[in-house]
Amino acid sequence: MQTEILIAGFGGQGVLFAGQVLAYAAMDAGYEVTWFPSYGPEMRGGTANCTVIIADEEIGSPLVAHPKVLMALNAPSLDRFEPQVQPEGLIVANASLLSRPVERQDVTAITLKANHIAEELGDRRMANMVMLGALSTHLPVLTLEQIKAALRDHLPKRKHHLLEANYRALDTGAARARIVA
């Protein structure tokens, strides 16, 4: 088993952090894992993406041409990476920042207004966790509880005051994805 996940969006949206949380969750669960970030020189507003590969055997390369899963946090990411997703794959897209729906008919598509949901929860910075919660509903290799445990175990202690807000965002994203799916 090998699952390739591409997470993409603008810098500052927590793209790389969401990938790290997934990678830690998979590593803690005993899987082989790679986390491969890619970002422009801008601190915020530029492009950012990362790939996470989760496997039950050694991973040959961290490079992914055709991911099984795409988590697109903005319209440019959906435009750029939607064609690359494997048939029968999964696309989770942030409808708050999309100008069009997912067009592929040969993939499972989940769209939810992650920015709006995060604002409803009181912190717009939680959109990445809303998206990660939604992704967890269709990611058979990891459970939502494993993702929460990784967040708890790997988030720096100085940030632990944010754990409950992150858990709420994950739970809400998972619940809303079930409604949309």
Domain with residue 43: its CATH number is: 3.40.920.10
Instruction: For strands 69-72 and 2-10, give the pairing.
Output: parallel
Query: Which strands sit side by side in the sheet containing 69-72, from one edge to the other?
Result: 32-39, 47-55, 2-10, 69-72, 90-94, 108-112
* Per-residue pLDDT tens digits of the chain, which is 181 residues long: 899 999 999 877 888 999 999 999 999 999 999 999 887 665 566 678 999 999 999 998 888 889 999 999 999 999 999 999 999 999 999 999 898 889 999 999 999 999 999 999 988 889 999 999 999 998 889 999 999 999 999 888 888 888 899 999 999 999 988 655 4
pLDDT of residue 13: 86
* CA–CA dist 76, 47 (Å, integer): 9
Domain residues for 40? 2-97+104-180
Tally the domains of the chain: 1
pLDDT of residue 181: 47
Do 168 and 121 touch, CB atoms closer than 8 A? yes
- Picking from 167, 111, 108, 169, the residue whose alpha carbon sits closest to that of residue 140 is 108
Task: Give me 62's structure tokens.
Answer: 């961290």
pLDDT of residue 117: 95
pLDDT of residue 180: 54
